[in-house]
Amino acid sequence: MASIYTHRDKNIRKTWFLMAGFLISVIALGWAASWYFGNPIILYVVAGIAMVMNVVSYWHSDKLVIKMTGAKPVSSNSHRELWNIVENLSITAGLPMPKVYIVEDSAPNAFATGRDPDHAVVAVTTGLLNMLERNELEGVVAHELSHIGNRDMLVSTVAVVLVGFVAILADIFIRMTFFGGNRDRGGALMIILGIAVAILAPIAAKLIHMAISRKREFLADASGVLLTRYPEGLASALEKIGAHSHPMRRANHATAHLFLSDPFSHNKKGFAARVNNMFMTHPPMEERVRALRGDAK
């Protein structure tokens, strides 16, 4: 029977396969554009811009996320219990104490960001603090610290950059196909294929991005439980968070994948829920709870 411990290695392998697919798709689009237009410089420009975007995002991702979410720093004096939980679990995980932030929002949620454990941030909403018991809050904090320990933040940032970059590249490609290009390299058929690639590439990139986020959430759930040794704490917290029906006030699609729970979720039912789950950056709460309690299908 599957348990929380069986997800870790499996999800790590799948994540690396997905990241490899991401990189290959970007390089392939750049190569296709350079081949079609007979200009190898296009490939070099595509690779160069992608590297620059990754470097910039790596160094400034935490500051951007904090600003976009409106998070405010807290101290041990203002939020003693939260501070102690983060400090104790950081020691258990062998991680440096991250900066602790609060987001003024009634929706229960949390996120972690930062380029590495030495520059990490853990943030929770006021709604989360008001809703959860201590052992449930410990489960959530352990989940976020696991993201830091597993170096998920860098992977997530790269995924966001690549999704945006593939979409931009595809848009440029489709415009250049209409307004120029080497007509001897395939003629009308190449134009049709180019349009198809330009339309499907950003969709595929977004799906890979969502898959990476979903696998990372399962991995962080499993790793977090290894810290607390109490699966029911996080499972109970996820049930309470999943039952909340209102999205976050400052929800943003650029940062949605960083949160413990999808900040756009609305507690949908039936067909609407199935459609919504297809495009969520997080796996359904029910699946995560089942995995934590050892009864995943």
pLDDT value for 34: 79
pLDDT at 125 over 90: yes
SS3 122: strand
From the list 150, 123, 140, the residue with the least C-alpha distance to 215 is: 150
Spatial contact of 141 and 86, defined as CB atoms under 8 Å apart: yes
Q: Which amino acid is at 230?
A: Y
CA angle centred on 158, ends 155 and 164, rounded to 5°: 140
Q: What is the per-residue pLDDT for 7?
A: 46
Q: Does the annotation count 239 as an active-site position?
A: no
pLDDT score recorded for residue 79: 95
Has residue 197 been placed in a domain? yes
Q: Is residue 139 part of a domain?
A: yes
Round to whole Å and give the CA distance between 143 and 139: 6
152 closest CA partner among 61, 237, 235, 34: 61
Q: In what order do the strands lie in the sheet with 121-125?
A: 72-73, 99-103, 121-125, 110-113
The confidence score (pLDDT) of residue 211 equals 65
Which tens digits make up the pLDDT trace of 131-164? 999 999 999 999 999 988 887 776 666 666 666 6
Q: How many domains does the chain have?
A: 1
Residue 35 lies in a domain: yes
DSSP class of residue 95 equals -
Mean pLDDT, residues 12-34: 70
**Chain centroid offset of residue 177 CA:** 33
For the chain, strand residue ranges (E) read: 72-73, 99-103, 110-113, 121-125
Instruction: Tell me which residue range forms the domain holding 214.
Output: 4-292
Q: Could you give the 3-state DSSP secondary structure of residue 129?
A: helix
237, 238, 244, 248: CA torsion to nearest 10: 100
Specify the pLDDT at position 106: 93
Distances (CA, A) of 218 to 18, 71, 135, 224: 15, 25, 19, 10
Q: Using CA atoms, how far apart are residues 5 and 219, in angstroms rounded to an integer?
A: 9
Cβ count within 10 A of residue 176: 16
Q: Which of 241, 277, 276 is nearest to 106 (CA)?
A: 241
Q: What is the mean pLDDT of residues 274-281?
A: 58
Whether the pLDDT of residue 3 is over 50: the answer is: no
pLDDT of residue 297: 46
pLDDT digits (tens, 9 = 90+) for 61-104: 788 889 889 999 999 999 999 999 999 999 999 999 999 999 99
In a domain, 95, yes or no: yes
* The predicted structure's pLDDT at residue 224: 92
Which is the catalytic residue, given 138, 144, 232, 287? 144
Are 75 and 27 a contacting pair, CB within 8 Å?
Answer: no
Q: Which of 4-8, 38-42, 49-53, 139-143 has the lowest mean pLDDT?
A: 4-8
Report the predicted TM-score, pTM, of the whole model to 2 decimal places: 0.75
Q: How far is CA 42 from CA 66, 122, 172, 188, in A?
A: 35, 40, 11, 21
CA distances from 276 to 124, 149, 237, 257, 281 (A): 24, 30, 22, 15, 10
* Sole residue written with tokens 């018991």: 133
* DSSP letter (8 states) at residue 265: -
Report whether 100 contacts 73 (CB < 8 A): yes
Over the stretch 231-269, which tens digit does the pLDDT of each residue have? 999 999 999 998 887 888 887 776 777 899 888 765 555
d(CA 102, CA 124): 5
* 121: pLDDT strictly greater than 70: yes
Residue 297 lies in a domain: no
Residue 246 confidence (pLDDT)? 82
Q: Which of helix, strand or coil describes residue 102? A: strand
The string of pLDDT tens digits covering residues 155-214 is: 666 666 666 666 676 666 666 666 655 555 555 655 666 666 666 666 666 666 666 677
